[in-house]
Structure 1
């Protein structure tokens, strides 16, 4: 550029840009992490409620209950629940409905089963459970029999389930009751004297191989239901108290393997009023 030029000089101005507007701290990260943790705990809780049985949930509640154990089934204490868990017998949750004995579902109300009806016989059911399983002391059943028994309280009533174990069946291949099965049914006849409830019998069998030309699961479960009904009568249960027998064949499995021996089972149901 010459000294006599009238062209103005070009000035380049560089601006310093500060990105992000400065440091604001990481508190939001901590809050977000807490939120994610809480959501994970919530979904774990929902999964546990859906994937566990009533007995398993009570065991979990007892494990985390900050009480002093006074028995091997429940704790005692003077905390907010007085030593009871949220799954005690008077507030049994109903899986999938969100109802309880104090807040019956719409279906129960339609059948006339309200909170009072749902709670009737609860103590008697507990007494029967304790007598069979030995929770209050001596059991009516021996150790080799107890491994075949599960009990649970439902909206319908008290369900006593007998099931096969490997090498220890309840019925022979010809659907004849074994000595084990007869002994279990005699125990039912003894504890039934303490109840006035009607009784239902339900039988299930494992699936048969698909190579068979004729599937006999329906006939087999029906024969077993009739045999159980007759054996209960022989054991001292008034025949008029048995209001139904149901053969489920292999349609309601207890084990994911359709041919597992665990699917061979008998359910004796002491029904609540209204069922």
Structure 2
């Protein structure tokens, strides 16, 4: 028993390190605080950049989310989006819909074929109005009335055609020349201003009959018909027609006779004025592009007056 009083007492001291005065728990708390503040400011930014309508949808969602989700019905909670109406169509006020299914929004569709038909109809009415005006001018004008048998008006696939034809005893041009007879010049000057009433472009073509004609210099009725067409263009412009309306001037010789049964009929000697429709005008503009020749050399066909290249025919 005496030995027990002399037993040594051992005190163990555990030394803690690395935590400082309060340890490391404060770091976890501070990280949680920073995360919460970041989430708070992010929430405030989102709310600040959201429209009033979307805020109302969010508010309605948090008011009755379970009721709408379980029982269905109108509200923002019956969609997969917090935006009022839900889905991809933001124009809807209620319910989940597919984009563009709003019956209140009328869809605009365009029928190009129908639109083209309407434009062609309007152009046809405009050309018919021009024809009526020309016919009225021929009947009322003393300068034109006496030549009405030589003025032919009709429609072709290219547009309104105005033809001034020869008569046996009243030729438009002297034989083998491109000088306009006085009455022909008078007719063209009377017609010229009326052609300005429509925006359509103009094409002129000269024609001859099949009477043989050929000069030693190679000048044939191909060149003659082209020169006569160009002389007619000048008379129209002098009469008041706008020069920029002219889109084509050609000489066709006797290739396109008006009287195919009698190629020598004086009526085949004529000047044709075409008031082009839009289709013809666009076709000429589209075809007047570049023609590739040989090793990449481009030939651009331009200009108004051109004689058709072919074997010499005949004309007066």
Q: TM-score, normalised by structure 1?
A: 0.54
Task: Show CA shifts across 1:224-260 (max 9, x none).
Answer: 1111121121111111110111111010111222222
**Shift of residue 149, structure 1, vs aligned partner:** 0.6
Show the counterpart of 1:226.
Answer: 230
- Point out the structure with the larger helix share: 2
234, 246, 259: which is aligned to 2:264? 259
Aligned partner of residue 171 in structure 1, secondary structure: coil
Show the counterpart of 1:118.
Answer: 120
In 2: Cα distance, 1:137 partner to 1:216 partner = 37
Show the counterpart of 1:242.
Answer: 246
149, 154, 157: which is aligned to 1:155? 157
User: 1:129/1:145 Cα in 2 relative to 1: closer, same or farther (>3 Å)?
Assistant: same
Aligned partner of residue 206 in structure 2, secondary structure: strand
- Kept after mapping to 2: 8 A contact 1:218/1:247: yes
In 2: Cα distance, 1:151 partner to 1:164 partner = 15
User: 1:186/1:212 Cα in 2 relative to 1: closer, same or farther (>3 Å)?
Assistant: closer
- Kept after mapping to 1: 8 A contact 2:151/2:162: yes
Alignment of 1:66-85 (within 5 A): none
160, 177, 181: which is aligned to 1:178? 181
- Kept after mapping to 2: 8 A contact 1:206/1:263: yes
User: 1:211/1:179 Cα in 2 relative to 1: closer, same or farther (>3 Å)?
Assistant: closer
Aligned partner of residue 140 in structure 2, secondary structure: coil
In 2: Cα distance, 1:248 partner to 1:220 partner = 9
User: 1:120/1:132 Cα in 2 relative to 1: closer, same or farther (>3 Å)?
Assistant: same
* 2:278 maps to 1:273: yes
195, 199, 204: which is aligned to 2:198? 195
In 1: Cα distance, 2:117 partner to 2:159 partner = 14
- Kept after mapping to 2: 8 A contact 1:200/1:271: yes
Q: TM-score, normalised by structure 2?
A: 0.47
In 2: Cα distance, 1:136 partner to 1:199 partner = 20
**What runs of 5+ residues in structure 2 fail to find an aligned partner?**
1-112, 281-316
CA RMSD, 1 decimal? 2.8
Task: Show CA shifts across 1:97-148 (max 9, x none).
Answer: xxxxxxxxxxxx9xxx942332233233223222222399735753321111
In 1: Cα distance, 2:146 partner to 2:246 partner = 27
Show the counterpart of 1:79.
Answer: none
